[in-house]
Amino acid sequence: MTIAATTDRNDVLPTAAMSETAPPRVAIEVVRPVVDQGRFAAKASVAEPVTVVADVFADGHERLAAAATFRQSVTGTEVTVPLVAVGNDRWSAQAVLDEVGPWTFTVVGWIDPWEYWRHSILARHEAGLDISVELGDGLGLLERAGQAGDPVERLRGADVSVALDDNLAATMASWASTLDGLAVSAAYPLHVARARAAHGAWYELFPRSLADGGETANPDTRSHGTLVDLVDRLDYVADLGFQVLYLPPIHPIGLTARKGPENSLVAGPHDPGSPWAIGGSAGGHTAIHPDLGTFGDFDRVVARADELGLEIALDLAFQCAPEHPWVTEHPDWFAHRSDGSIRTAENPPKRYEDIYPIDFTTDDWQALWAELANVVRCWVSHGVRIFRVDNPHTKPFAFWEWMIAEIRSETPDVIFLAEAFTRPRVAERLGKLGFDQSYGYFTWKREAWELTEYFGDMSKRTLDYLRTNVWPNTPDILTDQLQSGGRAMFEARLILASMISANWGVYGPAYELGESAAVRTPGEDYARSEKYEVRHWELTHPDSLAPLMRRLNIIRSHHPALHTDQYRVLHPCDDPGLFCFSKQNHDRSDTVIVIVNVAADMHRSGLVHLNLEALGLEADQPFDVEDLLADATYHWQGSDNYVSLDPHGPIAHILRVVR
């Protein structure tokens, strides 16, 4: 920048060097979906259109045109869609991207002189004013654009209807986009995942608890389930309507400091230990526990799951038992105390004496990181495409960004779920770094106001980079509301989890069988936890919630509105024990309204105040809602409608709006 001196003024004005071509008059601002100014890729999937929004405007009264161009970074595929003005200088469009992998997109804007001419001549013609000059202006534009034939002849004949020709307008808009003055945004990154990253139902079980045997059998003689037993259990999981079966670690388990029942520090000779204490004489992260079976058995599990429409998700827990081969082969991969001993894992007040955490900052970090990526490659080679990552927030951000990109460069359809029970900003950062999904705080959000605050904030801030997978329970988390709330609470949380999120999961069979006993109160640890002992479950118990699980997953599969969180809207209720939300798909062809008695303690009733504009409903028009749980139809009108829900009757309504 230079300063121009003046002799007749007391001030000085900065001047900038002029470019050889005229600068664009169009401005492009507030582009979405963009994460941290393009530092990270926004999330998308082949399951739903990508919605691009931008402010596009210029000085003066000219008419503008805009478009978004998407480019697949590997194959070079390009998709261009015109943006439509939606008011107040905001433009929007949706694009279907059907290739998994990295993309970029740009927004372009330009002045469209033909569109301005159309508006001008039609306005003057309708007002009865002279349009001879405008006719000449239009001919000049057609000639500049290389148009000839019919439109030119009609305009020469003063045929104003040429201005109504939308096909000609589209052709002229394309021509205008080639003129000088085109404004182009930065190229913003976008990761397009496969459909399962966008929506799915997960079921977690421990394979070692699948052998035949009674729950009252002597723990010392209780049989250990195998992967062959798991093949037989797959039909049960598929029949419940789940798409993903998540398995805790299936690797050898260490003996040193092995945990006994209920996390006791002393294990008996027959106690199996925690699956997260990975490593033993049979190997580490690329080995299978000998009592579970072989890789041949595992391949049978994957093949049978594929036949049933299931995917196998494996736990990725980067930590080691003292017997893990890495401990002796690479002792420098672990942090040592001042006395030379290796530091054990802890999450105060919890301590995990049977686990050594990996030191990701070791001087040999490059070899360590490469070996950890090889662990993922091993399981990918056996058909695994989904990984649930244990405690990713305790490992460096830089490692996950590198590792996820490395794996995706080879196998683009791999999905990573973060067990990120941590501070919000940390969990969000993991989503930005590449994790497709993340556990969230739903498990502890119980009151209607808490749910409203949590999901309302999520809808506003994080949907471009964080997909939440909600779980009412996990092997680590038995909330006090499930401990004391009875069957009604189990039903309410099940309905809420499966309906409010496109991705949800449940730890079973503990959930469908209403397992509610805790080791101690207060506390969230299960009594007789499967983390430390083999259990057997009576799946045919008459009080099982399995039929409700099945029905909820069927509802999910039939309603595309439940496959996305992009169009979730919360609606207030009079009764603080009622919680209401709606979900729609991108074209509003499917609308589902859910009302749950989240207190599940007593009869709750009151008015639900619907946001009719968000639902695309008219205030003065009646409409029907079909209850998908009760096979009933209700006639509603306006925003305020009465609801009554009882723990001893229907605990929730799942309502399809009949258009």
Catalytic, out of 419, 464, 533, 565: 419
Residue 203, strand partner residues:
245, 506
Can 436 be counted among the known catalytic residues?
A: no
- Pair 417, 177: CB distance under 8 Å: no
**For residues 519 and 533, what is the distance between their CA atoms, to the nearest angstrom?**
14
CATH number, domain of 465, equals: 3.20.20.80
- Pair 316, 284: CB distance under 8 Å: no
Tell me: do 488 and 591 sit in the same domain: no
- Pair 149, 122: CB distance under 8 Å: no
Tell me: do 183 and 201 sit in the same domain: no
Has residue 139 been placed in a domain?
Answer: no
Has residue 354 been placed in a domain?
Answer: no
Sheet holding 652-658, edge to edge: 569-571, 578-584, 591-597, 652-658, 622-627, 632-637
CATH number, domain of 606, equals: 2.60.40.1180
Tokens in use for 524? 């969230």
The pLDDT assigned to 216 comes to: 52
Has residue 472 been placed in a domain?
Answer: yes
Give the list of residues 6+ apart from residue 612 with CB closer than 8 angstroms, or none: 618, 619, 638, 639
Give the list of residues 6+ apart from residue 10 with CB closer than 8 angstroms, or none: none
Domain finish residue from 174, 192, 210: 192
Has residue 7 been placed in a domain?
Answer: no
Tell me: do 474 and 611 sit in the same domain: no
Has residue 294 been placed in a domain?
Answer: yes
Q: If residue 322 lies in a helix (H) or strand (E), which one and from where to where?
A: none
- Pair 353, 426: CB distance under 8 Å: no
Tokens in use for 151? 């439109």
Tell me: do 298 and 424 sit in the same domain: yes
Residue 633, strand partner residues:
626
**For residues 208 and 529, what is the distance between their CA atoms, to the nearest angstrom?**
13
Half-sphere exposure of 451 (CA within 13 A, CB side): 27
Tell me: do 125 and 269 sit in the same domain: no
Tell me: do 277 and 404 sit in the same domain: yes
Catalytic, out of 115, 311, 354, 390: 390
CATH number, domain of 57, equals: 2.60.40.10
Has residue 338 been placed in a domain?
Answer: no
Can 457 be counted among the known catalytic residues?
A: no
- Pair 151, 135: CB distance under 8 Å: no
Provide the 10 A C-beta neighbour count for residue 192. Answer: 23
**For residues 254 and 266, what is the distance between their CA atoms, to the nearest angstrom?**
14
Tell me: do 539 and 588 sit in the same domain: no
Q: Give the closest residue to 596 by CA, choosing from 574, 607, 582, 580.
A: 580
Query: Strand locations in 458-614, DSSP E?
Result: 468-470, 503-507, 569-571, 578-584, 591-597, 604-609
Has residue 513 been placed in a domain?
Answer: yes
Tokens in use for 455? 């999901």
Tell me: do 207 and 312 sit in the same domain: yes
Tell me: do 609 and 484 sit in the same domain: no
Segments of the chain with pLDDT less than 70: 1-19, 213-222
The pLDDT assigned to 243 comes to: 98
Provide the 10 A C-beta neighbour count for residue 484. Answer: 12
Annotate 263-304 with DSSP letters as a single string. GBS---TT----TTSB-BTTBSTTS--TTT--HHHHHHHHHH
Domain that holds residue 509: 197-332+359-558
The pLDDT assigned to 2 comes to: 39
Query: Strand locations in 167-321, DSSP E?
Result: 183-184, 188-193, 200-204, 244-247, 311-316, 319-320
Tokens in use for 207? 């394979």
**For residues 371 and 383, what is the distance between their CA atoms, to the nearest angstrom?**
19
**For residues 525 and 518, what is the distance between their CA atoms, to the nearest angstrom?**
6
Tell me: do 125 and 221 sit in the same domain: no
The pLDDT assigned to 7 comes to: 43
Give the list of residues 6+ apart from residue 301 with CB closer than 8 angstroms, or none: 227, 230, 231, 234, 312
Tell me: do 469 and 549 sit in the same domain: yes
Show the CA angle centred on residue 60, arms to residues 56 and 65, nearest 5°: 35
The domain total for the chain is 3
The pLDDT assigned to 5 comes to: 41
Q: Give the closest residue to 115 by CA, choosing from 64, 152, 81.
A: 64
Tell me: do 481 and 541 sit in the same domain: yes
Determine the 3-state secondary structure of 156 from DSSP: helix
Domain finish residue from 534, 558, 582: 558
Has residue 343 been placed in a domain?
Answer: no
CA dist list (Å): 454 to 132, 440, 503 = 61, 10, 16
